[in-house]
Structure 1
Amino acid sequence: MDKPRILIVEDEEKLSRVLELELGYEDYSTTVAADGSTALDLLTDEGWDLVLLDIMLPELSGMEVLRRVRRFDDMTPIILLTARDEVYDKVNGLDQGANDYITKPFQIEELLARIRAQLRQPRKAKAEQHEEFGVGDLVVDVDAREVRRAKQPIELTPREFDLLVYLLQNKNVVLTRDQLIEHVWGFDYFGDTNVVDVYIRYLRQKIDKPFDHPYIQTVRGVGYTIKEHD
């Protein structure tokens, strides 16, 4: 079996070398990029099983690399490495399509656990991308990753899209925050469950607020559901 290929995008030479050695010990194949432009070239030309992406990079920031990569690849797991501990930065990274984040300094054991969790996710996600879901005038084409309501196209981030699909897969079923975390973020997600509330708010702004009636409903003390209107 081929070794999982991990791209390390980190401009701190000491840290990138430590990551290279530790991941090598775990039988991963690694390549290091020290700036955003090099990383983008590698991500465009080669296939990777996972990317460790520092936010603060020369030439192109990690956020810009992430934004550009998600235009053509929304499947490769990307874990952000950040020295920032601001909620905005974490939410912004996830909103741009990152799968997870870890704040420096971190324990290598925690990073390895996050990597293992992400490497389990893509196979499941790909297997599920073969259907179309909808409720009322809201239609989601999973293969094309397109969303329309009342025939109007709606742009969603990868995470918003996955959350909407899971809600539609369970139409009329009340889903708890823990269930949404497990199925959309992965059962090994380490963050706070209030990230669900943040993304539900994002979805409502895009698929409910501009229209006559909302589909996403809050069940107080339990979670969220999508329901067809009578």
Structure 2
Amino acid sequence: MEPVAMKKDKVLLVEDDYFFSKTVKCFLERVDRFEVHLAADGQSAWELFKQEQFDICLLDVVMPKMDGFSLSVLIREVNQDVPIIFISSRYLESDRIMGFKQGGDDYLVKPFSFEELRLRMNIFLKRSKGQQFDISTTYKFRDYTLDMKWFTITQGEHIETIFPKEARLLQLLAENKNRLISREDILVTVWGAADFFSGRSLDVYISRLRKRFSKDKHVLIEAKRNKGYILQIVDGI
């Protein structure tokens, strides 16, 4: 009886340095169960992404035709959950922060260890495949309704689709309304680990949620310095 072949994780590697990309591809396919697809610029990568279903994306930042940040924004418009790791020679803190704001999950600065890249990839793949949330519930915030099945927030006749992680974060806050939730508990529950990169992502999503409820002074997400967050509904849910 033939052994059943294990499904390989499909990787989109976007890198304009041919020899570097080929080296990364050979390493990943040799040491782990990856199927790596290469693209040399952002535009060709976007065309490839629209045709294939990838499990994870590795994006260079500075590339011809379309940079990695712009590509990440396009990817997030159609897929909010696929892990995105930026691999770049740009090391400034502002570049890292921009990467997270544009939808990235991690940011590696060249040169880096290929083994570290592989381990980080496996961490994000486990997170993206292993999160378990109740999707049958809706939550009411005064005039707002969060629908966990469709990842939407409805206010009157206005319906807005939000990122799944944003919805899951709001769901966790709602289930613990008027109670302090520590940053660590939020990160472990929603992101799977309380590390630096997940913390940056949490800050971005908290900012997004505050903007969504900014017109209603009765819906507040308060931060307790170095402790965590509290969702407060002044007149109740």
Scaled by the length of structure 2, the TM-score of the pair is 0.83
Aligned residue for 1:61? Answer: 67
Paired amino acid for 1:222? K
Aligned-pair CA distance for 1:162:
4.1
Paired residues, number: 229
Which of 3, 7, 15 does residue 2 from structure 1 map onto? Answer: 7
Aligned-pair CA distance for 1:173:
3.3
How far apart in 1 are the matches of 2:121 and 2:82?
A: 12
Aligned residue for 1:16? Answer: 21
Aligned residue for 1:138? Answer: 144
Aligned-pair CA distance for 1:125:
4.0
Residues 151 and 162 of structure 2 are in contact (CA less than 8 Å); yes or no, is this contact kept in structure 1? no
Aligned residue for 2:219? Answer: 214
Aligned-pair CA distance for 1:127:
5.4
Question: Structure 2 stretches of 5 or more lacking a match?
Answer: 1-5
How far apart in 1 are the matches of 2:196 and 2:27?
A: 21
Residues 13 and 59 of structure 2 are in contact (CA less than 8 Å); yes or no, is this contact kept in structure 1? yes
**Larger-gyration structure (1/2):** 2
Residues 88 and 110 of structure 2 are in contact (CA less than 8 Å); yes or no, is this contact kept in structure 1? yes
Q: Which moved more, 1:46-55 or 1:77-86?
A: 77-86
Aligned residue for 2:184? Answer: 178
Aligned-pair CA distance for 1:47:
0.9
Q: Cα gap change, 1:162/1:100 in structure 2, threshold over 3 Å: closer, same or farther? A: farther
Same amino acid, percent of matched pairs? 29
How far apart in 1 are the matches of 2:158 and 2:26?
A: 50
Question: Structure 1 stretches of 5 or more lacking a match?
Answer: none
Paired amino acid for 1:68? L
Q: What are the Cα deviations for residues 1-36 of structure 1, in whole angstroms up to 9, with x where unaligned? A: 211111111111122122112101223111111111
Aligned-pair CA distance for 1:83:
2.1
Paired amino acid for 1:10? E
How far apart in 1 are the matches of 2:113 and 2:194?
A: 16
The CA RMSD measured in Å over matched residues stands at 2.6
Q: Which moved more, 1:167-176 or 1:109-118?
A: 167-176
Scaled by the length of structure 1, the TM-score of the pair is 0.85
Q: What are the Cα deviations for residues 70-115 of structure 1, in whole angstroms up to 9, with x where unaligned? A: 2211122111112223333323322222222222222222211210
Residues 94 and 159 of structure 1 are in contact (CA less than 8 Å); yes or no, is this contact kept in structure 2? no
How far apart in 2 are the matches of 1:32 and 1:221?
A: 41
Residues 219 and 233 of structure 2 are in contact (CA less than 8 Å); yes or no, is this contact kept in structure 1? no
How far apart in 1 are the matches of 2:92 and 2:127?
A: 26
How far apart in 1 are the matches of 2:218 and 2:56?
A: 40
How far apart in 2 are the matches of 1:89 and 1:130?
A: 38
How far apart in 2 are the matches of 1:217 and 1:149?
A: 22
5 Å-filtered alignment, 1:179-194, equals: 179-187=185-193, 189-191=195-197, 193=199
Residues 97 and 159 of structure 1 are in contact (CA less than 8 Å); yes or no, is this contact kept in structure 2? no
Residues 1:112 and 2:118 aligned together: yes
Aligned residue for 1:227? Answer: 232
How far apart in 2 are the matches of 1:127 and 1:161?
A: 10
